[in-house]
């Protein structure tokens, strides 16, 4: 028997594409095809928009990105709409990489890798019974190790091989390109997926004005610290962790995910332009320091927010059980009083008529 809590977090099969009809027929089939077409268009447009926003962050060959947010958009689209959106991902990936790739066959291979990697991440997350709310520690661990570090092995391997075959890199640069590609795509998942899921399902609805003001203050402080740290020519990137911890402890993913995006974008812009704490490093040094920093901030905020969400859910479940026990106790007391009254009435009924008004001995 499923409890109310398990029903609340039950996997939404229709949203994830499992509830789609196997063979559309008639008028319902036409509506289904139209819905799939609209979702493909939305996915492709979102992928292209995210790619356009990150085209200035390529390093070191112009084909590898330190933070590839479109891959996170693709994973979220698959989680929300199901595998029917894969054609939109493939077409958008091909269109985005066509001006950058060494040749059309290489671009087609890169687009295939950028489509297969989110599909693998989606299948791995579904296999692990992933919750879109990211309300359990196991969900955060699955997103980190299965979707990000596991699924993105596909795109890194296919993309780096395509660059090698197309002549954009040399054999000596293969593993360097592969590792940068892998971490860049993994960061796209770790930074983009929690943020987009928070936008899809807002978690702050019935809160007071003070709570909203505190959340705005968290974002403002995070943006201010990120700007100051990435502008100063000192190794002060560790100062970004206190605002992230504040956001995660107080607001869970609602506060942590946007703050991770703010910090990652500030650090990525500073590394791409070679200023702030990245001044004294070359392109490759800036790339790997940036990716290590983004990985540390994203993983820390994600795990901490997931633990906070799990704690809050456990507390809500305890409160629900306590309320149920209180209600059951009240029902038992009410039943006991009714039973006592019935027994007294039965005792009075068994007495002679003259003694029915007398109270029985204690």
Q: Give tens-digit pLDDT for 292-339.
A: 899 999 999 999 999 998 888 888 888 888 888 888 887 788 777 777
Specify the pLDDT at position 340.
Answer: 77
Quote the CA–CA distance of 323 and 303 in Å, as a whole number: 30
State the average pLDDT over residues 201-217: 79
Q: Which residue has the higher pLDDT, 243 or 28?
A: 243
Specify the pLDDT at position 78.
Answer: 94
**Number of domains the chain is built from:** 3
**Angle at the Cα of 273 from the Cα atoms of 271 and 274, rounded to 5 degrees:** 60
Phi, psi of 60 (to 5 degrees): -95, -10
Q: Which of 201, 232, 267 is the last residue of a domain?
A: 201
Quote the CA–CA distance of 318 and 3 in Å, as a whole number: 13
Neighbours of 199 (CB within 10 A): 12
Asked whether residue 191 falls in the same domain as residue 164, the answer is: yes
Q: Is residue 361 part of a domain?
A: no
pLDDT band at 271 (very low <50, low <70, confident <90, very high): confident
Asked whether residue 136 falls in the same domain as residue 215, the answer is: no
Q: Is residue 4 part of a domain?
A: no
pLDDT band at 54 (very low <50, low <70, confident <90, very high): confident
pLDDT band at 5 (very low <50, low <70, confident <90, very high): very low
Q: Give the side-chain half-sphere CA count within 13 A for 248.
A: 25
Asked whether residue 217 falls in the same domain as residue 86, the answer is: no
pLDDT band at 7 (very low <50, low <70, confident <90, very high): very low
Specify the pLDDT at position 177.
Answer: 86
**Which one-letter DSSP state was computed for residue 110?**
H
Q: Is residue 333 part of a domain?
A: yes
Sign of CA pseudo-dihedral 174, 178, 179, 180: positive
* Most confident of the ranges 25-34, 219-228, 279-288, 332-341: 219-228
Q: What is the mean pLDDT of the chain?
A: 83
State the average pLDDT over residues 20-37: 66
Asked whether residue 75 falls in the same domain as residue 223, the answer is: no
**184 and 65 Cβ atoms separated by less than 8 Å:** yes
Specify the pLDDT at position 285.
Answer: 82
**Which one-letter DSSP state was computed for residue 360?**
P
Specify the pLDDT at position 323.
Answer: 83
| Whether residue 27 has pLDDT greater than 70 | no
Asked whether residue 332 falls in the same domain as residue 191, the answer is: no
Asked whether residue 37 falls in the same domain as residue 172, the answer is: yes
Asked whether residue 263 falls in the same domain as residue 334, the answer is: no
Q: Residue 132: which region, alpha, beta or left (left: phi > 0; alpha: psi -120 to 50)?
A: alpha
Asked whether residue 132 falls in the same domain as residue 256, the answer is: no
Q: Which of 186, 201, 216 is the last residue of a domain?
A: 201
Residues ≥6 apart with Cβ < 8 Å to 16: 79, 80, 82, 126
Sign of CA pseudo-dihedral 289, 293, 296, 299: negative
Asked whether residue 265 falls in the same domain as residue 142, the answer is: no
pLDDT in tens, 69-125: 999 999 999 999 989 899 999 999 999 988 887 889 999 999 999 999 999 999 999
What is the span of the domain harbouring residue 113?
12-18+27-201
Residues ≥6 apart with Cβ < 8 Å to 191: 67, 69, 72, 260, 261, 264, 294, 298
Quote the CA–CA distance of 82 and 134 in Å, as a whole number: 18
Asked whether residue 62 falls in the same domain as residue 190, the answer is: yes
Specify the pLDDT at position 20.
Answer: 44
User: How far apart, in Å, are the Cα atoms of 170 and each of 99, 153, 161, 163, 165?
Assistant: 20, 20, 10, 9, 9
Three-state SS at 66 = coil
Q: Is residue 257 part of a domain?
A: yes
| Whether residue 23 has pLDDT greater than 50 | no
Q: Is residue 6 part of a domain?
A: no
Quote the CA–CA distance of 252 and 302 in Å, as a whole number: 9
| Whether residue 15 has pLDDT greater than 50 | no
| Whether residue 143 has pLDDT greater than 50 | yes
Asked whether residue 188 falls in the same domain as residue 265, the answer is: no
Q: Residue 351: which region, alpha, beta or left (left: phi > 0; alpha: psi -120 to 50)?
A: beta
Q: Which residue has the higher pLDDT, 65 or 72?
A: 72
pLDDT band at 229 (very low <50, low <70, confident <90, very high): very high
Q: Is residue 2 part of a domain?
A: no
Q: Is residue 3 part of a domain?
A: no
Specify the pLDDT at position 17.
Answer: 42
Q: Which of 171, 201, 231 is the last residue of a domain?
A: 201
Asked whether residue 146 falls in the same domain as residue 292, the answer is: no
Q: Is residue 343 part of a domain?
A: yes
Specify the pLDDT at position 201.
Answer: 80
């Amino acid at each position: 028997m499923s409890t109310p809590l398990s029903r609340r977090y039950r996997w939404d099969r229709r949203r994830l594409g499992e509830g789609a009809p196997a063979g559309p027929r008639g008028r319902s089939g036409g509506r289904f095809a139209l819905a799939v077409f609209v979702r493909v268009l939305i996915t492709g447009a979102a992928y292209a928009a995210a790619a356009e926003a990150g085209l200035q962050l390529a390093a070191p060959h112009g084909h590898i990105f330190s933070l590839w947010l479109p891959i996170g958009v693709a994973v979220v689209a698959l989680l929300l709409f199901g595998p029917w959106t894969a054609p939109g991902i493939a077409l958008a990936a091909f269109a985005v990489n066509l001006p950058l790739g060494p040749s059309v066959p290489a671009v087609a291979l890169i687009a295939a890798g950028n489509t297969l990697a989110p599909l693998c991440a989606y299948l791995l997350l579904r296999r692990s019974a992933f919750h879109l709310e990211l309300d359990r520690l196991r969900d955060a661990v699955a997103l980190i190790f299965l979707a990000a570090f596991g699924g993105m092995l596909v795109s890194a391997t296919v993309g780096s091989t395509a660059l090698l075959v197309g002549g954009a890199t040399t054999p000596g640069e293969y593993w360097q390109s592969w590792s940068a590609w892998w971490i860049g795509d993994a960061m796209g998942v770790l930074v983009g997926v929690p943020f987009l899921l928070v936008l899809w399902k807002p978690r702050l609805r019935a809160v007071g004005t003070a709570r909203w003001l505190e959340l705005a203050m968290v974002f403002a402080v995070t943006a201010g610290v990120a700007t100051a740290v990435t502008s100063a020519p000192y190794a002060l990137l560790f100062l970004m962790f206190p605002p992230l911890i504040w956001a995660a402890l107080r607001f869970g993913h609602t506060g942590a995910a946007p703050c991770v995006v703010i910090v990652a974008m500030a650090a990525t812009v500073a590394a791409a332009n070679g200023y702030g704490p990245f001044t004294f490093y070359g392109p490759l040094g800036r790339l790997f320091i940036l990716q290590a920093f983004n990985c540390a901030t994203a993983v820390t905020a994600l795990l901490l927010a997931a633990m906070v969400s799990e704690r809050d859910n456990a507390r809500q479940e305890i409160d629900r059980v306590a309320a149920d026990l209180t209600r059951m106790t009240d029902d038992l007391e009410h039943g006991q009083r009714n039973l006592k009254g019935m027994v007294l009435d039965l005792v009075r009924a068994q007495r002679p008529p003259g003694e029915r008004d007398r109270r029985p001995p204690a």
